[in-house]
């Protein structure tokens, strides 16, 4: 049977991708960000899974206002890096895992989570920046990736509670897949940031660190946090953090092993948070 081995959490700031692609990683400003991922790159080399289930949000790239699915699972064989207006990022095409994706879709929908199934989709920085942070600049990504897009563009986004429960349904789906695959679930986005209006630039270091503490130790309690707390305390775009609860819900009920924790302000407009939690079966 397949099993979930670990979860990875990270911000996905577009400027991080630009810094990598333009060779600015050595600059002191960016060095402080990338230093937090040195451990992670080595860890991923040691612990390469067979599949990454990558929870992220599309930034008005694959989904315009014509269609806004709350939860969309990518079931295609491959996903091309999108042109977000600056030209596509020079990163490898993302190979999918259509068999496992279809299995998870069927299992999770049977568990009352009405996913949108996507068989053709480009992926934006929300998906490729976490891969770059964890893998560096390889010519191929280390394994297939199932993109799982969550609407955090048009309010209301799904609640933390719903996301956490969905994570549990994903765990159940993976554990019923009849092949010995090691699967990691990644949750991306956040941490505190606001990109719009006169309050842009908001950062809440204390709140972010409390979020990390609770994500590790009290995810069920954390999942009860209402929308307004994210918006008010972590900024209008900080609400992306609900996606981390999907990844956390996918771990077993035993306390996870904290393999790595990192927090840094700023990357562009954003507080960068990063965790690696190893699943304890």
Partner 1 sequence: MALEKPYKDVPGTTIFDAEQSRKGYWLNQFCVSLMKPENRARFKANERACLDEWPMTEEQKLAVMSRDLNRCIALGGNIYFLARIGATDGKSFQQMAGSMTGLSEEEYRDMMISGGRSIEGNRYTHEWEKK
Q: Which residues are catalytic?
A: 125, 193
Q: Give the distance between the most distant pair of CA atoms in the chain.
A: 52
The answer to whether the beta carbons of residues 38 and 44 sit under 8 Å apart is no
Whichever of 2 and 58 has its CB closer to partner 1, that residue is 58
Instruction: Point out which span in 69-77, 151-159, 167-175, 176-184 binds partner 1 (CB under 8 A).
Output: 151-159
Query: What is the smallest separation between the CB atom of 210 and partner 1, expressed in angstroms?
Result: 12
Element (H, E) at 105: helix 98-110
Q: Count residues contacting partner 1 (CB under 8 A)?
A: 48
Query: What is the smallest separation between the CB atom of 208 and partner 1, expressed in angstroms?
Result: 10
Q: Determine if 59 is a binding residue for partner 1 (CB under 8 A).
A: yes
Element (H, E) at 264: strand 257-267
Among 1, 27, 35, 83, binds partner 1 (CB under 8 A): 83
Report the site for partner 1 in 103-142 (rule: CB under 8 A): none
Report the site for partner 1 in 176-235 (rule: CB under 8 A): 192, 194-207, 227-228, 231-233
Whichever of 107 and 236 has its CB closer to partner 1, that residue is 236
CA distance 27 to 13: 17
Sign of CA pseudo-dihedral 31, 34, 38, 39: positive
DSSP character at residue 21: H
Query: What is the smallest separation between the CB atom of 263 and partner 1, expressed in angstroms?
Result: 12
The answer to whether the beta carbons of residues 43 and 259 sit under 8 Å apart is yes
Nearest-10 Cα torsion for 142, 132, 149, 231: 150
Residue ranges that bind partner 1, judged by CB under 8 A: 13-15, 18, 29, 59-61, 64-66, 82-87, 153-156, 192, 194-207, 227-228, 231-233, 236-237, 265-266, 268-269, 271
């Amino acid at each position: 049977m397949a099993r979930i081995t670990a979860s990875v959490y990270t911000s996905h700031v577009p400027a991080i991708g630009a810094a990598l692609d333009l060779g600015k990683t050595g600059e002191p400003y960016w060095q402080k960000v990338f230093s937090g991922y040195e451990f992670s790159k080595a860890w991923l080399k040691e612990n390469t899974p067979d599949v990454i289930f990558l929870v992220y949000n599309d930034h008005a790239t694959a989904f315009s206002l014509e269609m806004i699915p709350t939860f969309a699972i990518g079931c295609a064989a491959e996903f091309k890096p999108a042109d977000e207006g600056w030209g596509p990022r020079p990163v490898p095409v993302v190979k999918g895992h259509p068999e496992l994706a279809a299995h998870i879709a069927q299992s999770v929908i049977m568990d009352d989570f009405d996913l949108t199934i996507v068989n053709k989709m480009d992926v934006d920085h929300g998906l490729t920046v976490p891969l770059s942070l964890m893998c560096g600049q390889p010519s191929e990504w280390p394994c297939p990736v199932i993109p799982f897009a969550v609407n955090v563009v048009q309010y209301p986004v799904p609640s933390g509670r719903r996301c956490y429960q969905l994570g549990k349904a994903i765990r159940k789906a993976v554990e019923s897949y009849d092949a010995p695959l090691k699967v990691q679930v990644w949750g991306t986005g956040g941490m505190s940031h606001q990109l719009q209006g006169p309050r842009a630039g908001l950062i809440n270091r204390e709140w972010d660190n409390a979020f990390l503490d609770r994500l590790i130790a009290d995810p069920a309690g954390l999942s009860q946090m209402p929308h307004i707390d994210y918006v008010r305390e972590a900024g209008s775009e900080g609400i992306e953090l609900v996606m981390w609860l999907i990844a956390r819900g996918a771990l077993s009920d035993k306390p996870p092993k904290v393999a790595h924790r990192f927090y840094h302000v700023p990357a562009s407009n954003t507080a960068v948070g990063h965790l690696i939690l190893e699943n304890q079966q």
